[in-house]
Amino acid sequence: MSEQAVRQILIETVESSREREQFFIERCGDVPADPGGRWSVKDHVAHLTSWREHASSVLEAAARGEAYHEDDDIDARNAATYARTKDRRARDVVAHARRSYARLLDAIAACDEPALQRPRDGRPGEIWRVVPGNGHLHVGEHLVQWHLETRDQPAAEQVAAWVHELDLRFTDRESRANALYNRACMLARFGRSDDAVEMLRRAFDEASPSLKAWAREDGDLRELRGRADVRAMLAP
């Protein structure tokens, strides 16, 4: 369990995420759904909103002293969100996104520290961890994806640096390991393999064995797993 008081930090990271997501909000327009399934800006916004609302539901239950079992099939939820929102008007998607930020901030504020520190039901770690994963980290992942798809690696790297800065606000050992691991994944995506391997090594020095198990399957590390030094690090 983290001994750090996290509520105010969570609020600040969500506020920063809302500001950063303005990049998408300002570009969200009415475009036909891509027959091939490639996401538009509107699709990214709707997807991010769906998972913020999930985080809000978890926190609202915690504030009531109730458990919220997180057993969602992630792929099924994502597919359902896309099917439900792909033909919605952009202005409605944007309005929903804005409401979801307000709801999440209210949900954080309604939780005291003991509620935030209780274990999640169906997922590892404490309840508060639902916020970073569905907040700044998620926004950052989608912005990085967008910038790389549009061949703007400097913008992608700037977003990744922002994510890492917010990750480091959380100081418990698990969070430190996750921050280093997330940074390694980003560096791998940018083709900075040696830097990524060094970050991985540092992450595993801090992490529980479950992080190595995840790394053996993580798509972001697919190319790195071809390296002998990485295979050695990931050995059971």
Among the three residues 89, 123, 152, which one is the final residue of a domain in this structure?
152
Distance CA 204, CA 208 (A): 7
Name the 3-class secondary structure at 120: coil
Helices (H), the chain: 7-20, 22-25, 41-63, 74-85, 90-110, 113-117, 130-134, 136-149, 153-167, 173-189, 193-206, 209-215, 228-234
50 and 145 co-located in one domain: yes
pLDDT higher than 80, residue 56: yes
Would you call 69 helix, strand, or coil by DSSP?
Answer: strand
Task: Report the run of H or E that residue 24 belongs to, with start and end.
Answer: helix 22-25
Q: Residue 181's domain spans which residues?
A: 172-236
Q: Let me know whether 109 and 25 are in one domain.
A: yes
The answer to the question of residue 111 being in a domain is yes
pLDDT value for 41 = 97
Q: What is the pTM of this model?
A: 0.93
Q: Are residue 188 and residue 132 in the same domain, yes or no?
A: no
216 in a structural domain: yes
pLDDT digits (tens, 9 = 90+) for 208-228: 788 999 999 999 999 999 999
Q: What is the CATH number of the domain that holds 51?
A: 1.20.120.450
Instruction: Indicate whether 163 belongs to any domain.
Output: no
pLDDT (mean) for 70-90: 91
Domain membership of residue 162 (yes or no) is no
Q: Of the candidates 162, 94, 113, 114, which has an alpha carbon nearest to the alpha carbon of residue 11?
A: 113
How much is the pLDDT for 46?
Answer: 98
Shared domain check, 196 and 82: no
Q: What is the pLDDT of residues 164-201, one digit of tens each?
A: 999 999 999 999 999 999 999 999 999 999 999 999 99
Domain count, the chain: 2
Residue 39 lies in a domain: yes
Query: Residue 205's CB: how many other CB atoms inside 10 A?
Result: 10
Domain end: 152, 187, 204, which one?
Answer: 152
Amino acid identity, position 220: D
User: Do residues 127 and 47 both lie within one domain?
Assistant: yes
